[in-house]
């Protein structure tokens, strides 16, 4: 449980069915690293909400501290990526490495009967079983809240134990169930942002406390002229509006040249330089590791659907294998702001089959 309405309703729905039910709250971030003290921090408020809901539902709950695992398996690798000038997605790796990784590894060590327990979360996702009893990660009923993108890197073993009790519900229906149960979190707003950045902390300012400044030129890609200077590639993301002092026109990040520590800008958010039809992906992990689509090794490729960011519709594509864990993805339509380091996830219809890390987008 996270302290939010989705996991609260997940617990309420399972409590209705008279399961032998226990709740777990993961503490993933040691806020002393951020504030040098541990008073009035976000995790404490979340934990209080979890305890309050569990008291209402009369189920036990416990806090499990995974902050060291999160630091080693999510934050430090992400920090290395930012420092190298690419843009990782810590939320995807948190699900893979922590919620469906470190937590499932640690639960059998806790007092209680966790060894063979089902593992329920408040994600908007669904699951079914194949004819040979393998788990399939599916889109939920509420497509506007679909979180299968964030779950696209989890293992088959983790998915096998997973339950998604709100996968058949819409967000308004979830809130209504919370009200019917008089849950204290019924009107709590949805959380946004990355867990290790406090609500009062600006993201770039937060990273600046971990990554040393490294200045380099900002160049107008059309004219080749240097128009400014940046203090680190990690301050920029492909496609974002980049304000440059003394330059009145709106310019957008078209490219981050890691080798030369250079930012290239173009005028207009829809400039052709911001679009790519071909995407190269590395470290692609199929949820069914031993059963990728056979067509990826054929000249015609596999016809699938792609998402390269969370808030976008899935786009038709053709996928071909270009290395042992590398893919070349040809999109039906040019895609805006393909960002190295971000996650490219694939679907076969409503079935999410895996994801990898974007290395580049090609026009």
Alpha carbon distance 100, 340 (integer Å): 25
In this prediction, residue 287 has a pLDDT band, given cuts at 50, 70 and 90, of very high
Neighbour-count burial of 43, counting CB atoms closer than 10 A to its CB (0-12 exposed, 13-18 middle, 19+ buried): buried
Catalytic residue among 41, 54, 195, 317: 195
Q: How far is CA 326 from CA 92, 197, 311, 357, in A?
A: 19, 32, 24, 9
Adjacent-strand bridge partners of 348? 351
Strand order in the sheet with 262-267: 226-230, 216-220, 262-267, 251-257
pLDDT at 40: 45
- DSSP one-letter string for 132-150: TS-EEEE--S-GGG--HHH
- For the record, the structure tokens of 158 come out as 């983790």
Residue with tokens 């920029």: 236
CA 260, distance to chain mean position in Å, is: 29
- For the record, the structure tokens of 184 come out as 């204290």
How many Cα atoms occupy the beta-carbon half-sphere of 317 within 13 Å?
27
Count of beta carbons in the 10 Å neighbourhood of residue 300 = 9
Alpha carbon distance 281, 120 (integer Å): 31
Range with lowest mean pLDDT among 3-7, 16-20, 288-292: 16-20
Residue that wins the pLDDT comparison between 49 and 44: 49
Pairing type for strands 216-220 and 162-163 reads unpaired
Torsion (CA) 57, 52, 101, 309 in degrees, nearest 10: 100
Whether 54 is a known active-site residue: answer no
Residue-wise pLDDT tens digits, 209-241 = 899 999 999 999 999 999 999 999 999 999 999
pTM: 0.93
Residue with tokens 């469906």: 100
Neighbour-count burial of 64, counting CB atoms closer than 10 A to its CB (0-12 exposed, 13-18 middle, 19+ buried): middle
Helices (H) and strands (E) in the chain, counts: 11, 16
Q: Is the pLDDT of residue 112 over 80?
A: no
In this prediction, residue 30 has a pLDDT band, given cuts at 50, 70 and 90, of confident
Whether 94 is a known active-site residue: answer yes
Catalytic residue among 54, 61, 94, 331: 94
What is the chain's mean pLDDT, rounded? 92
Q: Is the pLDDT of residue 21 over 80?
A: yes
Adjacent-strand bridge partners of 112? none
Query: Which domains can be identified in the chain, with CATH numbers?
Result: 5-180 (3.40.50.620), 213-269 (2.30.30.280), 274-362 (2.40.30.10)
Q: Where are the alpha helices (DSSP H) in the chain?
A: 5-16, 32-35, 42-57, 67-70, 76-83, 90-94, 103-106, 148-151, 156-160, 171-180, 203-208
In this prediction, residue 41 has a pLDDT band, given cuts at 50, 70 and 90, of low
Long-range CB pairs of 212-215, under 8 A, 24+ apart, other chains included: 214/261
């Amino acid at each position: 449980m996270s302290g939010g309405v989705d996991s609260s309703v997940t617990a309420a729905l399972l409590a209705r069915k008279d399961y032998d039910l226990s709740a777990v709250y993961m503490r993933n971030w040691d806020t002393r690293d951020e504030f040098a003290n541990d008073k009035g921090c976000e995790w404490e408020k979340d934990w209080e909400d979890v305890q309050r809901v569990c008291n209402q539902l009369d189920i036990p709950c416990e806090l499990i501290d995974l902050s060291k695992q999160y630091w080693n398996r999510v934050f430090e690798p992400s920090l290395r990526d930012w420092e190298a000038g690419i843009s990782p997605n810590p939320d995807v790796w948190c699900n893979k490495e922590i919620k469906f990784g470190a937590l499932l590894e640690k639960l059998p060590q806790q007092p209680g009967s966790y060894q063979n327990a089902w593992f329920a979360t408040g994600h908007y996702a669904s699951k079914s079983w194949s004819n040979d009893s393998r788990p399939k990660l599916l889109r939920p009923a509420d497509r506007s809240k679909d979180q299968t993108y964030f779950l696209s890197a989890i293992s088959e073993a983790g998915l096998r134990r997973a339950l998604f009790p709100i996968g058949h519900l819409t967000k308004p229906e979830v809130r209504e169930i919370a009200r019917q149960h008089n849950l204290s979190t019924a009107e709590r707003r949805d959380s946004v942002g990355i867990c290790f950045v406090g609500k009062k902390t600006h993201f770039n300012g937060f990273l600046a406390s971990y990554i040393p400044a490294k200045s380099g030129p900002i160049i107008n890609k059309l004219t080749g002229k240097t128009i400014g200077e940046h203090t680190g590639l990690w301050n920029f993301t492909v496609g974002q509006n980049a304000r440059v002092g003394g330059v009145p026109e709106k310019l957008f990040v078209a490219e981050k040249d890691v080798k030369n520590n250079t930012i290239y800008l173009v005028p207009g958010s829809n400039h052709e330089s911001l679009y790519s039809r071909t995407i190269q992906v590395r470290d692609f992990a199929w949820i069914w590791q031993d059963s990728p689509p056979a067509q990826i090794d054929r000249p015609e490729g596999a016809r699938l659907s792609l998402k390269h960011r969370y808030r976008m519709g899935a786009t038709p594509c053709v996928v071909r294998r270009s290395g042992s864990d590398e893919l070349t993805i040809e999109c039906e339509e040019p895609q805006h702001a393909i960002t190295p380091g971000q996650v490219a996830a694939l679907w076969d219809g409503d079935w999410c089959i895996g994801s990898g890390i974007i290395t580049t987008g090609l026009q």
